[in-house]
Amino acid sequence: MELAVFAITAVVALIGAVAMVLSKNAVHSALFLLLNFSAIAVLYLLLRAPFLFAIQLIVYAGAIIVLFLFVVMLLGAERHEEGADALRWQQPTALVMGIALLAAVLVVALSGPLGAPAAAAEGFGAPEAIARALFTDALLPFQVTAMLILAAIVGVVVLHLRENQRG
């Protein structure tokens, strides 16, 4: 039963990710990202990490998606832009990289049995273990990520104000 739930959830997560990338509407992309985040939350639950499940839903599926939608609506990016694509090289590059990734997955899958799954470490997904790792080993990347997100939001607001002053 658990394998069936995993397979269905994994397929939903992959469909959400692919649809997010292929969607031309930014709001639809954000909603597909929400689908992906929700499927990943279920995968955390299957790993018996209820704290990560709750954090994934609250922080990512809740707050981050609301933030993305706020920024998209603020910029007016939900409107599809017509005209020539200035970065035409991205689509073939993404296709080649996707095929390379698929080939790597097939090589690993067809190389033979991977053995028994490893047992989860004691306290995996526990709030204490996550906090210890986050605020000791990963403190600098955590703070840098927070500053990057803050800078991106400030940049969006400045660009929006500058655009409004011109027009």
Q: Name the residue range of residue 131's domain.
A: 126-167
Counting residues of the chain whose pLDDT is more than 70, the rounded percentage is: 87
* Residues 105, 51: Cα–Cα separation, whole Å: 30
Task: Give the CATH number, domain containing residue 7.
Answer: 1.20.120.1200
d(CA 118, CA 134): 23
Q: Residues 4, 73: one domain?
A: yes
Give yes or no: residues 75 and 134 share one domain: no
Half-sphere exposure of 133 (CA within 13 A, CB side): 8
Same domain, 1 and 73: yes
Tell me, yes or no, whether 99 lies in a domain.
Answer: no
Cβ neighbors of 10 (< 8 A, separation 6 or more) are 39, 43
The total domain count for the chain is 2
Q: Is residue 32 part of a domain?
A: yes
Indicate yes or no: pTM above 0.75: no
Do 2 and 66 share a domain, yes or no?
Answer: yes
Q: What is the pLDDT of residues 68-87, one digit of tens each?
A: 877 777 776 655 556 666 66
